[in-house]
Each structure stands twice: as C-alpha cells, then as structure tokens.
Amino acid sequence: MNNLNLILPEIFISLSIMFLLIIGVFKRNSSKLIFNFSLFIILIVSIITFNETFSVSRETLFNQSVIIDYMSSLMKIITLIGGFLVLVISSSYLKTYKLYNIEYPVLILSSILGMMVMISSNDLIVFYMGLELQSLALYVLATYNRDQLKSSEAGLKYFVLSALSSGLLLYGCSLVYGFSGSTNFDLISNQLNSNDYVLTFGIVFILVGLAFKISAVPFHMWAPDVYEGSPTTVTLFFTIVPKIAALTVFIRFLYVPFFNLIDQWQMIIIFLSIASMVFGAVAAIGQTNIKRLIAYSSIGHIGYTLAGLATASNEGIQSSIIYISIYIVMNLALFSCLLMLKRKDQYYEDIEDLSGLSKNHPLLSLCFLVILFSLAGIPPLAGFFAKFYIFKAVLEQSMYFLAIVGLLSTVVAAFYYLRIIKIIYFDKEKDKYDTDHNLWLKFSLTVSTILILLYFIFPSQLIEVVSRINVI
C-alpha cells in the first residue's frame, strides 16, 4: 500500500464522476459541458496511466488484491481510448434522437471505472466489485433510448440474463474460496495442485459467467437482441470496450490461480472457441439488420480470441491481445460508416439500406469495402494478420483441429461479408444520404480505415508493445 500513485487513474476517475454529477444537478443545460469534461477526464486518466504505471513490471497493492503490471496498464489504455472514441463520435447521433443528456457520459465513465478495476484485480472480491460496477452502468446504457420499445426490451433482457450470469460467477468464486481458503489469485495458485478436481466445478461456474460477458456460445443469447435494440453508439461501446476487460480477466483467471489445473479448463476454452467460431459464421448469413449481423460477427471473432487463450502459451496470449486490438479498430471503422447512413434525421441500419451505396457515396463505399475485407481476413489488411497470429500460435501447440475449424469458419464468414459488398456495389441505388457529418466521425473513420489498410507496413510496432506481456 506504499505506492498509491499506481491507482491514481482509478481515484481520479471516481472523483471526476462525483464532480460531474454535482455539476449536472446544480447547473441547467450542462450536457455539452459534461460531455467535454468527460473527454478531458479520459485524456487525463490515459496520460496518468501511461506515466505512472507503464514502466512498472509488477507491483501489488492492498494485500496483493490489486495488481499493476505491463498487461494491466496496456489494457487500461486501450479501454480508455475505446471509451474516448465512443464518446466523441456519439454526440451527433444522441442529439438527433434527443438523448444528449448528462447521464450518458457519466454512465460511460462509470463502466470504464469498473473495467479498470477488473483489469487490475488480483482477487476474487476486487474482480467481482469491478464487474458489478461495469454491469450496473451497462444495464442503464442498454435501455438508454426509453422511447423505443426495442431498447427497453434489450435492456431488460440484458439485465435478467446478466444478473443470472453474475449469480453463477459469484457461486463459482464462493466454491473456489471454500476449497482453497483464499480469494487472492497468487495464494489460490500456491494452494492448488492438479488433483483438486472439486475445484473444477468452481472454475466451470466462473468461466460460464465470464463467457456470458463476452457473449461466447452457448451464452450468447442476449447479444443479437441487445446489439439491435440499443442505440447504435451504445452498441459500439458494447462491441469493443467490455471485451478488453473480460479478455484480461480471462487471462488472469486461467493463467494465475488455475494454471496448475490446465487439463480441466483447456477443453472448456477449446469448446467455447469452436462453438463461437462456427455459430458466429453460420448464424450471421441470414441476417437483414446490420447491428444484428455485427452481433453474430462479434461472437465469431470472440471464438478466435479464445483460440489464442486455449493454447496455454505466451504466444497465444499475445496473439489474442493483438487480435482484440485490431478488432477494436475494425469495429470502430464499421460503426463510423454505420453512423453516416443518415437521411433527414433518420439513421438506417438494415443491410438493404446499403443498396447501390457506391453510386452516390464512392468514398464511404470504399471504406466499407476495406473494413469488410479486413473482417473477412483478406490479406494484406489488418484483419488477416490478426487471424494469422492466432493460427500461428494454435499450430505451434499442434492444435490442428482447432486451426482447421477456425479456417473453415473464416471461409463461411467471408460469404456474408462479400454479400454486403455485392449489395453496396452491384444493387440498385437508393436515395442519397446526408454528407454533413460530425468532424470527429470523419476523423475516426479516416484514421481507422488507414490503420486497417496500412497495417502491413508497420506490424512490428504493435507486436513489440504486446510482446512485453509475459504471463506464464
């Protein structure tokens, strides 16, 4: 507890949330002010995180219940950048639907705080606190557009199923505590050996809870409805930011307390990975709504991320982190395109609304083309390299069946991405969409598309950053 500077980001963001709420209560029409303050807060927290913790190899605080290391610092910065970008491109959408309220940025900040606590957790209790703080904010965000029935339904569905998964997770944590006598990850790892089969039940319950949070099959049932029903900017937040925290917790859980029990959990992760890849690829084929298609696509992509974790090697962990980083950029670009499909204060989100887009909006269509090819894993785009690293890590561990399933799923998934490209370029055009977009939206789309397009020129930068993470 000697170095509180290491948790300065969390302290700062907690105090900032309280400060913003006080402003919101006492000052009328303060939505714009609070939005700008929130962006400023995220920037400051990112700088503090980078300065204070990035050089720290491994430090523990509060009786080893909080850990600060290179992985936690990197994942926090990715989370903060994701949250910042979601906020900056949200404003025009929220104004259109009269949702530009003080609650939105405060809820985003609260969920980011929960994620940061999760990322730094080295204890079951700290992890659960972070998870619930994140979930409480996400429940409200899912149902943020109260005037829309779909949004209310999405929020209710997410709340009920998420509460169930939290209960299972808590039960799993209780079992682990009961049989190991500790909630600390390091202490659990010291006390476990490969013969503790009773603990398998605890691990299964915890993994079920976590699999729900990242919408891995068969715990995915909430994702398509919530993604479709939530406001588009909230869907973007759901798609990218919580997955970073969940992936970090997955790595911590599997490789710190339960590494000795690898025989028990490895098959579970392989099953989740294969089921997610296959289901995500097949279920997306018949979809008509873009957000619903993105939900099934994200389930498939989570499958690839879990494939990296299933290898039980440092290379596998690093490939999963690289995959999720590239996936965030691709999703940010895709949603930026989606938020440009606006005509007379109405946003369009059906696949048929993209019909003949190339005739009237050639640049936007080109961005769509690059993004969809990248999601399909076509070389030399960033998405191809993301999958390449995963397959390389899987094949190094001689997990050939997993690699073959992954490859076949990629081929199937390419079909529905190519179908959208065909609709954009070869179908009959529709009315022209508005071109007066938010500057930040244009900036986000341009930068993310360039990163996807030119990743093959500078892949070593990302690999270099991630290669410093050594969990095993």
pLDDT digits (tens, 9 = 90+) for 340-360: 888 887 888 888 888 888 888
| Residue 336, domain member (yes or no) | yes
**How would you class 266 by CB atoms within 10 Å of its CB: exposed for 0-12, middle for 13-18, buried for 19 or more?**
middle
| Residue 60, domain member (yes or no) | no
| Residue 376, domain member (yes or no) | yes
- Give 123's DSSP letter: B
Provide the residue type at 171 as one letter: Y
**How would you class 281 by CB atoms within 10 Å of its CB: exposed for 0-12, middle for 13-18, buried for 19 or more?**
buried
| Residue 307, domain member (yes or no) | yes
CB 370 within 8 A of CB 452: yes
Domain of 467, in residue numbers: 260-472
CB 357 within 8 A of CB 365: yes
| Residue 57, domain member (yes or no) | no
Nearest Cα neighbor of 90 from 228, 276, 230, 293 is 230
pTM of the model: 0.92
For residue 113, what pLDDT is reported? 92
3-state secondary structure of 145: coil
3-state secondary structure of 87: helix
- Return d(Cα 441, Cα 439) in angstroms, integer: 5
The per-residue pLDDT for range 164-212, each reduced to its tens digit, is: 888 999 998 888 888 888 888 888 877 776 556 677 888 888 888 888 8
For residue 103, what pLDDT is reported? 85
| Residue 407, domain member (yes or no) | yes
For residue 2, what pLDDT is reported? 56
Q: How many domains does the chain have?
A: 1
Q: Which CA distances in Å does 414 have to 111, 220, 285?
A: 33, 21, 10
For residue 398, what pLDDT is reported? 84
| Residue 388, domain member (yes or no) | yes
| Residue 355, domain member (yes or no) | yes
For residue 53, what pLDDT is reported? 67
For residue 112, what pLDDT is reported? 92
- Can you list the residues of the chain whose pLDDT is less than 50? 1
- On the question of a cis peptide bond just before residue 224, with omega within 30 degrees of 0, the verdict is no
